[in-house]
Amino acid sequence: MKLLAFESSCDETSVSVVDNGEIRSNIISSQYFHKKYGGVVPELASRAHLEAICELTTIAFEQAKLRPTDIEAIAVTTEPGLIGSLIVGSNFAKGLSLKYNLPIVPINHIEGHIYSGLISNSGCGFPFINLLVSGGHTAIFLVRSFNDYEIIGLTRDDAAGEAFDKIAKLLGLAYPGGPEIDKLAQLGNSRRFDFPRSMINSGDYDFSFSGLKTSVKNFVYKNYPGGVPEEVLPDIAASVQAAIVDVLVAKTIKAAEEHQVRNIVISGGVSANSWLREKMKTKAAEIGISTYAPEMGYCMDNAAMIGFIAEKKLLEKGREAFYKLDFRVSANALRSRKKNE
């Protein structure tokens, strides 16, 4: 089945063509101009989506070597995210659905991330433990099939990506801070500074990252009141990254062991982190658990993951179930403990 998928929940506009689980194109345009504000400005984000979406759709078709009339269904992210940004993608998708009389599958962005690790990893079977780490979310899921998953851990405050971004800002690094810390950390000594591994022994699968942010803030104000010298930055970056990754890896592996699951899938923007990818793989392998991570283009927000899971829903429920155009977008963050609660 050939699907056209849209993702516009935050600051990436993305359009993808998916064909029987294979990604024919995955065009992503990142709104780098938010850098100068130190974070995403919602109103500017929706305007930029509006300016980009038409042209990106043309490029997605060109790269997939297909035309709009070849498409059999449409998929679009409808929650959670910035309302204005979600409306741009959703209304554009609805317009195409009307024009070409195509079914349209509303997709939860989180579900897109959960299954994104399977896109180019067909070797990973169910069940698996998914660590979803992005700018907006940090959670652990027990995933039994394409339509059965359960949230078993959640951050109680900041998301891991948010911690990377806020700490990077504190250190005077560019936004988004995760990739900046990752790059600097490769030159640094992760054992030089001992930052807290919050909740690492809490006995559950929940996280907390706001204490780490405060600890780094106090450390910087106390030791470097005039600003952090450039030569110390790599060691701080490496030590911060190790603190975040240690907790993510420990909790995910504990979840896999306690649920007797042999596969771990990491996903979301922070799953691009080189130390997280390496450490999770090594630690899990020590106890015979396999780790799967998405290709880089499927870590960050992307439409391929939206089309990928939409195709599974179409196959399960049939095209006729998706001709309704009265669905709405929603900003709702990840809250419930179970999928259907």
89 binds ligand KG4 (CB under 6 A): no
Strand ranges inside 113-254, DSSP E: 128-133, 138-145, 148-154
Site string for ligand KG4, 276-305 (x = CB under 6 A): ------------------------xx----
Site string for ligand KG4, 121-150 (x = CB under 6 A): -------------xxx--------------
C-alpha–C-alpha distance, residues 111 and 107, integer Å: 7
CB of 318 to ligand KG4, least distance (A): 30
Q: Which does 179 bind (CB under 5 to 8 A by kind): ligand KG4, Zn ion, none?
A: ligand KG4
C-alpha–C-alpha distance, residues 178 and 296, integer Å: 14
Which residues 6+ apart lie within 8 Å of 2 measured at CB? 17, 18, 19, 24, 66, 70, 71, 72, 73
From 182, 235, 246, 311, residue interacting with ligand KG4 (rule: CB under 6 A) = 182
Beta bridge partners of 14: 7, 28
Q: Are strands 2-7 and 22-30 parallel, antiparallel or unpaired?
A: unpaired
CB of 101 to ligand KG4, least distance (A): 32
| Listed ranges 91-99, 199-207, 295-303, 321-329: which one lies at the site for Zn ion (CB under 5 A) | 295-303
301 binds Zn ion (CB under 5 A): yes
By beta-carbon proximity to ligand KG4, the closer residue of 36 and 222 is 36
Is residue 7 exposed (0-12), middle (13-18) or buried (19+ Cβ within 10 Å)? buried
CB of 270 to ligand KG4, least distance (A): 4
By beta-carbon proximity to Zn ion, the closer residue of 14 and 134 is 134
| Listed ranges 122-130, 159-167, 187-195, 278-286: which one lies at the site for ligand KG4 (CB under 6 A) | 159-167
By beta-carbon proximity to Zn ion, the closer residue of 301 and 311 is 301
Copy the structure tokens of residue 208.
Answer: 């907390």
CB of 148 to ligand KG4, least distance (A): 23
| Listed ranges 131-139, 232-240, 273-281, 312-320: which one lies at the site for Zn ion (CB under 5 A) | 131-139
164 binds ligand KG4 (CB under 6 A): yes
DSSP state of 214: H
3-state helix, strand, coil in the chain (%, to 5): 45, 20, 35
Buried b (16+ CB within 10 A) or exposed e, 237-275: bbbbbbbbbbbbbbbbbbbbeeeebebbbbbbbbbbbeb
C-alpha–C-alpha distance, residues 107 and 91, integer Å: 14
Q: Are 237 and 102 in contact (CB under 8 A)?
A: no
CB of 155 to ligand KG4, least distance (A): 12
By beta-carbon proximity to Zn ion, the closer residue of 28 and 220 is 28
By beta-carbon proximity to Zn ion, the closer residue of 12 and 235 is 12
134 binds Zn ion (CB under 5 A): yes
Block residue for tokens 């179930």:
321
| Listed ranges 21-29, 91-99, 263-271, 325-333: which one lies at the site for ligand KG4 (CB under 6 A) | 263-271
DSSP element (H, E) containing 42: helix 42-64
C-alpha–C-alpha distance, residues 269 and 181, integer Å: 13
- Asked whether the bond before 294 is cis by omega within 30 degrees of 0, the reply is no
CB of 269 to Zn ion, least distance (A): 6
Copy the structure tokens of residue 206.
Answer: 């929940």
Q: Can you give the binding site for ligand KG4, defined by CB under 6 A?
A: 10, 134-136, 161, 164-165, 176-179, 182, 268-270, 272-273, 300-301
Chain residues that interact with Zn ion, rule: CB under 5 A? 134, 301
